Amino acid sequence: MKQRGFTLVELAIVLVIVGLILGLAFKGRDLIDGARVKSAQASANKIQAAVNIFFERYQFYPGDGCPAGVAQPAQCNGARNGLINGADEIAAFWTLLINTAILTNAERTTPFGTQWGVAAGANGVGGTTTNISYLTSGPATNTAATDIRYVCALDSQYDDGVPNAGNIRSSAAVGVAVNQYQANADCWSKTGQVGLSIRILP
C-alpha cells in the first residue's frame, strides 16, 4: 500500500505553528526577565523604606553604633557615624530590622536567588565609593553573584547605566565587551556574573 507524505502546505503550516510557539516562548522569557529587574528595584526600595522607618522610630540607622550580638535598639550605644561599617554593624542591621518587625527575613531574598547584604563602599572596589553604605546582592560589593544582564538593565532603567557612577553600582568595568556595560548598552546581550551595589546611606 502506497504511503502518503506531507504536502508542502502541511509542512508550511507546521513550520508556522512551531515558529509561533518559539516566538511566544522567547517573548515569555523576556517578560520574566523584565519582571525580575522591576522586582529587584521594588525589593531594594522596600529595604530603603524600612531603614527610614527605623530611623524615624529610634533616631539612628539600624546597625549604626551597635555591638556584636545585639537584639534590640536599646543595646546600641556605641559611636555613630551614619554608616554601616564592619561585621558587627552589618549583622545588627538585619537583626534590628527583623526583630522590630519592620522587615521580614523573607524580604532579604533578592529576585536573583541571593540574599541582600550590606557593605561599606571603598574607592575602586565593586565600583563603589568610600563613606557610603550599599545594599549588595551578595556579602560584599565585589561579590560576583548576579547576572550582568539584570544588573545592567537595573542600572539603565533606574539610574545612569554606568557601573561606577550614580546610586546603582556594579563590579563590571565600563566598556562594550560582553562582560562590561555602559550607558545605552544592549544589556540583554551581555554575559557573566558581577557584583551589584545600591546606595542606601547616607
User: 118-125 long-range CB contacts below 8 Å, 24 or more apart?
Assistant: 118/63, 118/84, 118/90, 118/93, 118/94, 118/200, 119/84, 119/90, 119/197, 120/83, 120/84, 120/85, 120/86, 121/169, 121/197
9 — pLDDT class (breaks 50, 70, 90): confident
The pTM is what? Answer: 0.86
Q: Which domains, from first to last, does the chain contain?
A: 11-201 (3.30.1690)
Q: What are phi and psi of 97, to 5 degrees?
A: -65, -35
Q: Go through 24-38 and write b for each residue having 16 or more CB atoms within 10 A of its CB, e for each that does not.
A: eeeeeeeeeeeebbe
Residues 97 and 117: their CA atoms lie apart, in Å, by: 13
Q: Give residue 168's pLDDT band: very low, low, confident or very high (50, 70, 90).
A: very high
On whether the CB atoms of residues 64 and 120 are closer than 8 A, the answer is no
DSSP secondary structure letter of residue 90: H
**pLDDT, tens only, 182-199:** 999 999 999 999 999 999
pLDDT per position as a tens digit, 119-159 = 999 998 999 999 999 999 988 888 889 999 999 999 999 99
Q: Is 9 helix (H, G, I), strand (E, B) or coil?
A: helix
